[in-house]
């Protein structure tokens, strides 16, 4: 059956026989197209090389240029940059200007023991010498149990104070 561009009709129920006939008709049309002369096979390419990525103005269309040198495909991309952002809020002395560049890295510093002691004064120590509380409590707890727990809490407090 030859290809019929009016089939299937819009809204008609699907028919596998009709679709198969249409596809076979298209294949027959494609097979009937004469082939052009076969040229010699070109050289294989080894790799693609990105030669450059250029920044374009905002709103420009992205571009790509490709060339082949016989071995490598060479690509050059053009990518538009984004629009400039808004400047900061109005300052007391007028509009705020754009942020400046970061300054150079400063020299590496050292902290003396005196500076460290001042910085951590009043902070908690690492209470490595304090073991978990191993006492028990009855219901209701006895005065001795509460005193043992109070003594443990006091040893913990003392260990944490610098």
What is the per-residue pLDDT across 141-150, written as a single tens digit (0 to 9) for each?
Answer: 899 989 988 9
3-state SS of 9-45 is CCCCCCCHHHHHHHHHHHHHHHHHCCCCCCCCCCCCC
Choose among 52, 45, 53: nearest CA to 69.
45
- Tell me how far the alpha carbon of residue 30 is from its chain's centroid: 46
| More confident call, 68 vs 86 | 68
Confidence (pLDDT) at 54:
92
Domain ranges of the chain: 1-38, 47-80, 122-160
Is this structure's pTM higher than 0.75? no
The C-alpha angle with vertex 74 and arms to 82 and 44, in degrees rounded to 5, equals 145
52, pLDDT greater than 70: yes
């Amino acid at each position: 059956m030859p290809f019929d561009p009016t089939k299937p009709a819009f809204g008609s129920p699907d028919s596998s026989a009709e679709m198969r006939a249409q596809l076979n008709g298209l294949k027959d049309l494609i097979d009937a197209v004469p082939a052009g002369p076969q040229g010699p096979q070109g050289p294989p390419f080894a790799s693609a090389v990105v030669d450059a990525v250029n920044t374009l103005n905002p709103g420009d269309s992205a571009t790509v240029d490709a060339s082949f040198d016989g071995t490598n495909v060479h690509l050059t991309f053009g990518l538009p940059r984004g629009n400039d952002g808004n400047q900061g809020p109005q300052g007391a002395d007028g509009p705020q200007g754009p942020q400046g560049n970061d300054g150079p890295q400063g020299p590496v510093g050292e902290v003396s023991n005196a500076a460290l002691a001042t910085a951590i004064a009043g902070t908690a120590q690492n209470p490595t010498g304090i073991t978990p509380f191993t006492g028990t409590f009855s219901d209701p707890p006895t005065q001795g149990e509460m005193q043992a727990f109070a003594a443990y809490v006091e040893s913990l407090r003392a260990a944490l104070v610098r």
